[in-house]
Amino acid sequence: MSYISFEKSQLVNLEFALKHELVRSNRSGGYSSTSIAGCNTRKYHGLLVVPQPWLDQDNHVLLSALDETIIQHDEAFNFGLRMYPNGHHEPKGHKYLRNFTAEPIPKITYRVGGVVLSKEMLFAENESRVLIRYTLLEAHSKTTLRLKPFLAFRNVHELTRSNYDANTKYNPLANGASWQMYHGYSPLHFQLSKQAEYTHVPDWYFNVEYIREKERGFPYQEDLFAPGFFDIQMKKGESIIVSAGLEEKEPTQFKREFTSEIKKRVPRDSYENCLMNAAEQFIVKTANKNALMAGFP
């Protein structure tokens, strides 16, 4: 049983859910962070936030968010959530949230009609890479999972706007695609453990807001780039793994790698282990030195 868990009544209450955040870091100095509702509330939030040492000494948000949509009988149910001007939330995916647990890794469960989908997230220990496992727990008819990544490619202390300098093209990969929005950045490699159909429809989403930045009196709006989406057919009981990182990987190894990464986690079943787990979040190991992070945003 998870020592941190939230139920439906708490998760659908955005005033509550947006105040609770999670962060997972690794030895490479990067991290993955958002709210328990999956809505970014700070400019520092992102699923893949990593160093780009040839650019500067800061972390950079490459993959800001990932929208999940369940499609059945030509009906689409989007689990994503972003904030826009005048308190508008879209696509209102929080109404499908049913449960959140943190042990051994963050796990979110969604339900819409007869479909139950779980999402488990982890940040690889020694490389700039986030892994997400989706499991279709319940389904009574043909089900498609659609995944739409939202890219930022910016310094964590800055915000971005739509522009003509952005490279909106993609390169095909094994079970995925890669994008490099700006010269000098590492390409973002997005792959799945199962063959998926990628549709390239580049578009900008304007005026996404980060409420914590607004409260702090800082600029709080930006435009995010969505290059396209992936459609994956899933069966009841099936799991797929998403890998987003700086290098192309072998998709047939994703499930094994996910299981291996979970085993590395310190079980937070005692006060001592909780302290150990928290302390390890701040250790950075590079080829040249070991260091301690002063903290995370």
DSSP string covering 72-107, please? ETTEEEE---EEEGGGEEES-GGGGEEEEE-SSS-E
- pLDDT at res. 287: 66
* Mean pLDDT (10-residue bins), the chain, 297 residues: 83 95 87 96 98 92 98 96 95 96 92 96 92 97 97 98 98 98 98 98 98 97 99 98 98 96 81 76 71 69
- Please name the CATH architecture into which domain 5-292 falls: Distorted Sandwich (2.70)
Question: What is the β-pairing status of strands 290-292 and 283-285?
Answer: antiparallel
- pLDDT at res. 222: 99
- pLDDT at res. 276: 77
Burial class of 294 by CB neighbour count within 10 A (0 to 12, 13 to 18, 19+): exposed
For residue 67, what is the enclosing H or E element? strand 59-72
- pLDDT at res. 163: 98
For residue 138, give the amino acid letter: E
Calpha distance 115→192 (Å, rounded):
21
Which candidate, 128, 106, 129, places its Cα nearest to that of 28? 128
Calpha distance 46→57 (Å, rounded):
18
- pLDDT at res. 297: 65
The answer, yes or no, to whether the previous bond of 91 is cis (omega within 30 of 0) is yes
The single-letter DSSP state of residue 4 is: S
Calpha distance 267→2 (Å, rounded):
10
